[in-house]
Amino acid sequence: MLKKFFLSFSFILIVLSSLSTYADEGMWTYDAIPIKQIKEKYGFEPSKEFLDHLRLSSVNIYASASFVSSDGLILTNHHVALFAAQRMSTPEKNYVKEGFVAESLEKEVLIPGMSVRLLVGIDDVTKEIEESAKGKATPQEAKEVREKKIASIESECLKNEGLKGEVVALFGGAKYSLYKFKEYREIKLVMIPELSAAFFGGDYDNFTYPRYDLDFAFLRAYENGKPAKTENFLKINPDGIKEGDIVFVSGHPHKTNRLETYAMLKYKRDVSMPFEIEKLEKVRSLLKNYSKKGKEEARRARTMLYYVENALKSMEGEFKGLKDEKLMSKKLSMENELKREVEKNDDLKKSYGNPWKELEEAFLWASKNFNDLNFKMRMWLGERGLLGYALNIATYAEEIKKADSERLPGYHDADLVGFEEKISASNPIYKDLEELLLLFKLEEMVRGLGEEDPFVKTVLQGKTPQEMAKYLVEGTKLDDPSFRKLLVEKKAKLVAKSKDPMIEFAKRIFPEVRKMEELYKNNVQAIEEYALSQIAKAGFAIYGSDFYPDGTGTLRLSYGKVLGYPQGSTLVPPFTTFYGLLDRAYGFGNKGDFEIPPNLAKHLEKIDLKTPLNFICTADITGGNSGSPVVDKEGKLVGIAFDGNAESHPNTFVYDEYQARCVCVDIRAIIEVLNKVYNAEWIVKEMLGN
């Protein structure tokens, strides 16, 4: 839900010479926190104990979350837990529409296939990985060797320490860190408000501020059937914070693009992003039409539609920034400045060459081959549902035959326990919706490649897209978890013999998908990694190394202050209240997306309406930060991040604390509704340690 942020890499390097007066910018790794910068600006120096405790209280749950009690209680966003709530819902019990509150520990509900990860250590493994690739003649050869070394390091981490290891490339590969995680594989739902309370204002208010959303949920980690004992957890500050206070945000920002060059941004602007926006618009229309068939269809499609609309709105904002000529000119100007610094120094020129030119050529190749890359590779990867199961199982069957170091990411020995659990988890499958989405993919493939394309013929086998979608979905047994589990047992030996149509389909397209992946890796990814690492190293040589890397989905610390902002001829306040929710609801006639949520309406006389509901701060965040704990300088929880405002869309390219804000749910609002609306006082008592 949160947006990406972007800043010219060379611009970062140049302006960081004046860190003490610079904006609250940066997604800092926990082994490189800018303590001096924070102290100079805010007069507060976070201690090692402060940082360690915050790190060990923060968890990854495909976004962000935090432990808030010694018994594994986890606080995150409603929209982070929404996917799980949708999977668990039935027509009889709709966790999304109605919400859920467990009356006790015994009433908490297991979420199939969910796990969370806790970062327990970071090791610098740059030297090992760089030395493994020394002497390799081409970026492609070096990438292949690095991948094997990375797999080996991750495998050793599990074998020697019992921890899930993930090697993360920073600064385009100029630095490599081994992130070591403890995993919790038994997660239960404790409490989630109804969607209308968490998403008040609907898509109209998405990426806006002021906001009035109770976007929170509680989960719990278990070990051996009992609540996990969590030594580190965040205590809450029931008094909250005030305007001007410094806050820290600890979360997992997804991939950002602040290292990307002008050529890479131009590719996004002119080639990939217009295509993605058009595709999302079509999927949104498809889901809306499906939802009109009836209440059950609307329920089935609701969560997917929510994420599609959110992604579309975010991408449209980013695309608008890419089309801003002033911004793009600024990017090019700053890039040229770094290039000139390299060009005028013979040693630097000899060491780093012209990586910008290499990236230009790589993305020219990507542009020329866009249709093949999209319709023969991208559209089949990262799938969920029946097709996702088929592709993952077919891939696993091939990869498990190889030595561990030779396998694709996600299929190493260290990944297999989690992989098998997710494959066999019991999740609802709606075959009519699956067929509709698969038909869309097949029709798009035909439109993009043409009926005579050999790959199209391989995929369709003489059938029309409609016939093939129907044949695959109706004939497959992959909606049965026990069947999926059977297929992956004994190293997936049954996959080769399986006559399941969806499995056969996956095996049929597998060779071409892998071929395109290899072409993309050699012609784009290897060049990108090499060139960006060269640019980063050149930056280190010229300006020093005291700055932050792009987001990688791993734990980062951001900081800032609670602050409103000017808008037009007025000011936007730092806090909203329940009074504001009522005003917005009645201003729209108390109906539709602006209807007072039913549970709140029933208990309005109990609620202290002046209680802060949402607040904003200048902390630098992006997608993946959803659910991030927001703490004060005592390390106490004062809220959770859940969005960015509309003004932060240009932050995809240049960070701007003038108007861009991180939007948070205030802990005081969470306490207020737990006590007075949801009959969940026991959760508040647990957080308070009572």
For residues 669-678, average pLDDT? 98
**Are 557 and 33 spatial neighbours (Cβ–Cβ below 8 Å)?**
yes
**What is the architecture of the domain spanning 9-115+185-258+556-688?**
Beta Barrel (2.40)
For residues 651-678, average pLDDT? 89
Structure-block tokens of residue 293: 């068939």
User: pLDDT tens digits, residue range 543-567?
Assistant: 777 788 888 999 999 999 999 999 8
Whether 41 shows a pLDDT value over 60: the answer reads yes
**Are 484 and 389 spatial neighbours (Cβ–Cβ below 8 Å)?**
yes
pLDDT band of residue 310 (cuts 50, 70, 90) is confident
Per-residue pLDDT, 10: 39
Domain extents for the chain?
9-115+185-258+556-688, 122-183, 354-548
User: pLDDT tens digits, residue range 479-488?
Assistant: 999 999 999 9
Query: Could you tell me which residue, 293 or 330, shows the higher pLDDT?
Result: 293
Per-residue pLDDT, 113: 86
Amino acid sitting at position 227: P
Per-residue pLDDT, 652: 66
Render 489-527 in DSSP notation, one character per residue: GGGGTTTTT---HHHHHHHHHHHHHHHHHHHHIIIIIHH
Whether 389 shows a pLDDT value over 50: the answer reads yes
Whether 171 shows a pLDDT value over 70: the answer reads yes
For residues 78-94, average pLDDT? 91
For residues 664-680, average pLDDT? 98
Nearest alpha carbon to residue 619 among 95, 27, 60, 141: 27
Long-range CB pairs of 679-685 (<8 Å, 24+ gap) are 679/101, 680/101, 680/191, 682/104, 683/73, 683/190, 683/191, 683/218
Q: Strands 217-223 and 226-227, how do they pair?
A: antiparallel
For residues 142-162, average pLDDT? 92
Whether 659 shows a pLDDT value over 90: the answer reads no
**Are 67 and 234 spatial neighbours (Cβ–Cβ below 8 Å)?**
yes
Angle of CA points 62, 249, 203, to nearest 5°: 60
Per-residue pLDDT, 21: 39
Per-residue pLDDT, 334: 82
pLDDT band of residue 539 (cuts 50, 70, 90) is confident
DSSP-H helix ranges across 323-354: 325-343, 346-352
Per-residue pLDDT, 11: 37
Whether 8 shows a pLDDT value over 50: the answer reads no
Sequence-distant (≥ 6) Cβ neighbours of residue 35 within 8 angstroms: 45, 46
Q: How far apart are CA 2 and CA 23, in angstroms?
A: 20
**Are 652 and 318 spatial neighbours (Cβ–Cβ below 8 Å)?**
yes
pLDDT band of residue 16 (cuts 50, 70, 90) is very low
First to last CA, the chain: 34
Q: Strands 186-192 and 109-110, how do they pair?
A: antiparallel
Structure-block tokens of residue 566: 């000017």
Whether 5 shows a pLDDT value over 90: the answer reads no
Per-residue pLDDT, 1: 43
pLDDT band of residue 20 (cuts 50, 70, 90) is very low
User: pLDDT tens digits, residue range 179-218?
Assistant: 999 999 999 999 999 999 999 999 899 889 999 999 999 9
Whether 19 shows a pLDDT value over 60: the answer reads no
Amino acid sitting at position 426: S
Q: How far apart are CA 622 and CA 257, in angstroms?
A: 11
Per-residue pLDDT, 13: 38
Q: How far apart are CA 57 and CA 234, in angstroms?
A: 6
Mean pLDDT of the chain: 91
- Enter the DSSP assignment of 645: -
For residues 407-428, average pLDDT? 86
Query: Could you tell me which residue, 192 or 421, shows the higher pLDDT?
Result: 192
User: pLDDT tens digits, residue range 109-144?
Assistant: 999 889 999 999 999 999 999 999 888 878 899 899
The kind and range of the H/E element at 190 are strand 186-192
